[in-house]
Amino acid sequence: MSSTHLSPTLAPPSSSSLSHTARTPSQSQSPNPASSSPSTKPRLVPTNSVTLQDGSTVRVRIEATLAVEDVVRQLCISVKIKEPPNWYALRDENEELVTNENLKKKIKQKVNLKLVNSPAREAEDIVNKLRARDNRLGITLTSLRKIIREEQFAEEFLNRDGLHELITIINTSQGNTLAYALTAMQNLMELDHGWSELSDAFILRVVQILSSPSSLINVCRPATAILKKLVEADPMVAPGPQMASSSTAPPTQPPGSVYRFGFEVVYEQMRKEQKLLETVVNRLGSADTTMALYSMMLINSLLAHAGDARWEEFVGEMERLNVRKAVIRLMSSHTIEDLTSCILDFQANMVRVTYRKKITLVEPEHEHGHFKALNYVWANSRVREDPDPEGGTFKWRRLGFDSEDLTQEFNAVGVLGLDCLKHFVEQDPDFFAKVIQEQLSRPPERRCPVAKASNEVVDLLSEHWAIFGPGYSTSTTFQPFFLNFYKVHHLATNFFLRMWNESAATSGDFPRVAALVRSQVKVALRTENVRAWHEVEADFNEREYQAVRDRQMRELELEDDVMGKVPIRNMRAKLYKESFEFVRQQRVHCLMQGAWFMNAMSLAPNASRETIRKPSRRWRFMRLDPNMKYIHFVDEQVKFDVRNGIEDLPDRIDVSLINEVATGTCAPFPQARGADIDFPVGYQTAASPLSFSLITTSGSSLADLIAPDQSRWADWVDGLGMLRRGGGHVTSDETTMFVQALTEIGLKIRLLNLSGDKAEIPSGIHASHPPANSDFFFSELYDTQG
């Protein structure tokens, strides 16, 4: 490469336009008497090298106060380029566009620059090539998918109707060409504008691509990411003042807003391809781990954003496809940390699904859902409907309910209880009929209320897995038994029936048997992330009554029986939600205070040692802004006292771009010489337990960091997770411990108040039947003592 030795000083337009000294090789070697004179001012040392399009190099000293367009204009004048300066732009060695925002940083770091075509010129060239549809289309799309993330290029590309050309290619292409085009669209959608006019026809095309089992892996990855992005572009979660609206109607979006899609829009197109969800669930078992990751992320987005209108239909379809079983298989076969985060997200989503079912009232007149399930249970009981001596019928009480009012009977467990009872019958209809017939053959006081026992087990399992409310999941480990909720319910209900029989219980012993089951649930489901399923089955099927009773008595010596009463359990559930919200606010407050982290080396599968570059600065300070939209940061070689606010933090990360907070993903850099990593002989890269990465939808990392200590790591990893819609999942044991400790402390304080007042805690609170009509009013009570 030839080198033109120029030393221009690029100054602001108000000063001298350009001054440089050209030196030929011979001149540079000949002594110049004038140059040795003490009065001669020494030449300024060049700070940046700029490679021109002809391969030659100029060395320049750039004034930091200049705008990029002025730098380019003066550079073009100095090297006598005849074309208009606005045809050109600057990029660094990594092809990053130089902008007014990062120019000062690149000058300071002495980055080598290149003079290249401007974004407008690049956009025009690429759009023309897209229209041509010639044999260079693949190369053009490869270039497009790299630079379309840039704001300046994307705007020029959109202004030239490039999006229309890209969609046309997606609609008509196959194979690798389709994969490149979809990847370009996926990268464009990382911007918060420019894709708001995507049509239902485009969404359907993406759905059809995903629905085909024969679609290539490199086609399915970006198609899955695009569908996920569309689901998350929900008007209900759009940034801005409308988020605070209490209205259930989607807020009106300004022109150009991409928040005009969401679950309802996407699911409407998904329903036109019946096999889409089945294909996506099947891809969870793909040998390609990244494909499994993308499919898991799409399922999580659908679960998190499902609207009321289609929620029951969608969740029912997920249950029919047994997505839980597919995720359980992933728990033992996953190979990358991102997949662990997705599985924990799925668990948190299933907690929300389970809670919503639990608080949804059973409506016997619900023709297509509840009525059908109740009718199935009744038909398989094989008993007759007898007249009630007091009038009416004696039907559901024969199955073990206390009354014929099923809405009231399922009040505590809702549709979740009905689903569990239905699955219990489906496991073995003949066994269920046999149990019911056996109970009816006994005297009334000796009968085990089967249906009531089923609901009690649902309540006990909900308590064990802390299903207290939407968005409150503090499990930091895999919970395969929770995902097998119906199977665990079946085992525990059978255990309830066996304990009833072996203890010769009567109707007044129901709380005692329930306490036995609660004790056994804790034992059987302990450390579920490492226990085998056959051990759970053995705990429920083989433990004898006397052994369970003896263990329970030992437990009661350590814990007051009052803790198991329904009002106390309800109080614990309420305090748990309050404690979670308190810890969440504390974590977010820590993010707003800010902290120093070490810039780290990514250990992602696609990062090789040849491509790893050492960060320009060792330390990074990050702080969340009060609006919780951006994380502002600065990279420095030495830590310094950062002032309040964001004046010292010139760079920022858009929080909405953070799709995952992956942990254990990076390692400290070894000692390096120069810009490239100098790996010592035998150096092994091991992930730091205090490391984490901020991952986008496309899988790229926004930051790879190592926290200074465990406390700071927990603050930021869980704080960033809790910023996400629905709360995400908790990663650190520290946060889980705080929530549980606050809950128990609050509960003990409440109990001390009760015991101090010598108030008796009832075993249960039974609500009376609702009024038959609305002909009533609430009276106002006045203090008669003034």
Looking at residue 681, its pLDDT comes to 44
The pLDDT value given to residue 322: 93
The CATH superfamily assigned to 120-236+258-358 is Leucine-rich Repeat Variant (1.25.10.10)
Residue 538 has a pLDDT of 94
pLDDT of residue 5: 41
The model carries a pTM of 0.72
pLDDT at 367: 64
CA–CA distance from 22 to each of 52, 54, 133, 478, 689 (Å)? 16, 18, 46, 67, 54
Rounded CA separation 643/405 (Å): 64
Q: What is the distance between the alpha carbons of residues 404 and 616, in angstroms, rounded to a whole number?
A: 73
481-485: long-range contacts at Cβ-Cβ below 8 A with a sequence spacing of 24 or more? 481/525, 481/528, 481/531, 481/533, 481/536, 482/347, 482/350, 482/351, 482/528, 483/324, 483/325, 483/327, 483/328, 483/347, 483/350, 484/324, 484/328, 484/533, 485/354, 485/420, 485/461
Decide whether 9-32+42-117 matches 576-736 in CATH topology: no
Mean pLDDT of the chain: 81
CATH hierarchy code of domain 576-736? 2.30.29.30
List the chain residues with pLDDT less than 70.
Answer: 1-46, 239-251, 334-338, 366-368, 387-393, 469-474, 556-566, 604-616, 670-685, 724-728, 753-772, 777-786
Q: Which helix (H) or strand (E) holds 209?
A: helix 200-211
The architecture of the domain spanning 9-32+42-117 is Roll (3.10)
Return the pLDDT at 215: 85
Domains of the chain, residue spans: 9-32+42-117, 120-236+258-358, 370-559, 576-736
Residue 603 has phi, psi (to 5 degrees) of: -110, 25
What's residue 645's pLDDT?
Answer: 86
What pairs with residue 767 in β-bridges? none
